[in-house]
Structure 1
Amino acid sequence: MDGNGSEDKKQDNADMAAFVQSLLEQMQSRFQTMSDSIITKIDEMGSRIDELEQSINDLRTEMDGETSPSPSVPTGPKDDSKSTKDP
C-alpha cells in the first residue's frame, strides 16, 4: 500500500505541476497580448501627437504669415481709401 500511495502522490504532484505550468503559460500569453496592445496604443498616441505638433506648427506658420503682412496691408488701403474719399 505504501508503494501505491507513493505513486498516487507522484501522480498528484505531476498533475499539479502540469496544471501550474499550463496556468503560467496562459498568464504569459495574456500578459503578452496586453503588452502588445499597450505598445500599439502608445505608438498610435505618438503618431497623433506628431500630427498635432505638425498642425500647431502649420498654424503658427500661417499666423506668422498673416501677422507680418496684416499691419502693412490694412494701413496701406486705409490711407489710400481715406485719400480717395477726401477729394
Structure 2
Amino acid sequence: MDWQEENNRLKRNFKFKNFIEAFGFMTKVAIVAEKINHHPTWTNTYNQVLIELCTHDAGNVITDKDRTLAAEINKLI
C-alpha cells in the first residue's frame, strides 16, 4: 500500500515484524524530517506506524513538502 490522500493529508500505515523494527524506522524518519525541516504527524502501536503528512503553515493542506517527505520515507523501506 502506498500513500493515500484523505482529508487534505497524505496517509500511510507501515507494518513491521515487531516494536523494535517500527521504532527503528521512526528514528530514521525523524532524521530525514529534521534535515528537511518538515515533521510528520504519526502514531506507533507495537509493530505499526501510521504517518499523516500535511503542511500546517499552508493551511493544513498537502504541499510539495509533504510529497518530498513521503518520497524520502519510501526510500527507507
Q: TM-score, normalised by structure 1?
A: 0.23
Report the structure, 1 or 2, having the larger helix content.
1
Highest RCO, 1 vs 2 (Cα 8 Å, sep ≥ 6):
2
Which structure has the bigger radius of gyration?
1
Instruction: State the TM-score, normalized to the length of structure 2.
Output: 0.26
